[in-house]
Amino acid sequence: MREAGLKATSCNNRIRVFNAYAKWAKLGFTIGRLKEPTETLPTFTADQIHKIAGSKPVGRAQKRLHALICTLFDTGLRIEETLGLRPQDVDFDNLLLTVVGKGSKDRRVPFSFELRKVLWKHQQKEPGRFIFGTLDGRAKLGRRVVLRDFKLLCRRLGFEPPRRTLHATRHTFATNYIRKGGSQFHLMKVLGHTSLEMTKKYVNLQIDDLREVHNALTPLCR
């Protein structure tokens, strides 16, 4: 697999499947997994988020994109989960979204009062089968359309979008969640992960975050 050009992560995914079979079939052996390099996941900066949230969209398509991006940053949802949201999935009273995640498993994800204002305004003007549907309201938007328009928006606001642009909003949410005092267990539930190990990979704390925590916890300070 390595000779074929697969990364260690891709190899390990296949090795896990084989090892599960080997255990079930009682083959008497398993294959050791490869060491995966530590990867710094791409995120948006606070200044970039401020520019996006504070932008003034013009027209239906831009306003729909603005509401969609705000939802991604505020909730940490996967793009497919967000595009699949329907009007009945939004509980404006309790500030909760009902999301269909991987494996068709439902989970409830909280959202902020700030996003409530954005979604309420958007939904009043864009009724349809999906919250973020096509302009005729009959189908959900395509991922590629959103990615194209998102990148164009970033460049129009004066910065180059990070790689894996759509998923970078999820990494950004996770990092800020922990940075502002949220627990890894709660973050795991919000993101829809099945293990803390996966959640830990999403958190991208910088040296400034570590310095701030250290200054607050050092025994030399009273």
Tens digits of residue pLDDT in 16-69: 999 999 999 999 999 999 887 766 778 899 999 999 999 999 988 999 999 999
Tens digits of residue pLDDT in 56-111: 999 889 999 999 999 999 999 999 999 999 999 999 999 999 998 776 778 899 99
Tens digits of residue pLDDT in 197-207: 777 777 765 55
- Outline where DSSP puts E strands in the chain: 90-91, 96-100, 106-110
The pLDDT assigned to 14 comes to 92
Mean pLDDT of the chain: 86
The H-or-E segment that residue 13 falls in is helix 8-25
DSSP secondary structure, 26-77, as one string: T-S---PPPPPPP-------HHHHHHHHT----SHHHHHHHHHHHHHHHH--
The token duo for 153 is: 């928006």
The token duo for 104 is: 């068709």
* Domains contained in the chain, CATH given: 1-37 (no CATH), 46-212 (1.10.443.10)
* Residue 215 reports pLDDT greater than 70: no
Residues 199/169, Cβ–Cβ less than 8 Å: no
* Residue 189 reports pLDDT greater than 60: yes
Tens digits of residue pLDDT in 152-185: 999 999 999 998 899 999 989 988 888 887 888 8
**How far does the chain reach from its first CA to its final CA, in angstroms?**
55
How far is the CA of 139 from the CAs of 42, 97, 157, in angstroms?
Answer: 30, 19, 29
Q: Name the residue type at position 196.
A: L
